[in-house]
Amino acid sequence: MKQFKEFLLRGNLIDLAIAVVIGTAFAAVVKALVADIVTPLIAAIGGKPNFANLYFTVNNSKFLYGDLINVILTFIVIAAVIFFLVVKPTNAMLSRLGRLPKEEPVMTCPQCLSQVPIGAHRCMYCTSELEVAEEA
C-alpha cells in the first residue's frame, strides 16, 4: 500500500493530471472559438451559417461531413495556437539562452544512403563499414 501511495503522489503523475485538466479546458475554449467565431466567419464568405448541418445521404444513411469540417477547423486552430503561442516563444527563449540542442554533423552511408553521425565506423541501419571522416 505504501508503494501505491508513493506512486499516486509522485510529481509526474500530478503534473500529468493537471495537464489533462488544463488541456480539456483549453480544448473547450478552442471549440467555442471555432464554433462562435471561425465558423461564422467562414460561413459569411461561403454562405453556410453552420457546418454541423451539412450532410449527404446514401441508402438512407446520413453522412455528417459538416461536423467533420468543424472538427478539422478545431484541430487546425489548436495546432496553430500551440505552435505560435507555445512552441515558437519557447524556442526563441531557448535560443536566446543558448540552450537549443545543436545539430550533430552527419554523413551519408554509401550503401543505404542513410544519414549517420560523422564519427561512426558502421552504419546503424545497414551495418556496413564506413570510412571515418574528420569532424568539422
d(CA 115, CA 135): 15
Q: What is the pLDDT along the chain (136 residues), one digit of tens a residue?
A: 888 877 777 767 778 888 899 989 988 888 888 778 877 787 788 776 667 788 899 999 999 888 888 788 878 888 888 888 888 998 888 888 887 777 788 899 999 999 998 888 899 899 999 887 555 4
d(CA 110, CA 49): 58
Residues 6+ apart with CB under 8 A from 33: 77
What pLDDT, on the 0 to 100 scale, is given for residue 50?
Answer: 67
d(CA 65, CA 35): 15
What pLDDT, on the 0 to 100 scale, is given for residue 112?
Answer: 93
pTM, to two decimals: 0.53
Q: Would you report the helix, strand and coil content of the chain in percent, each value rounded to 5?
A: 60, 10, 30
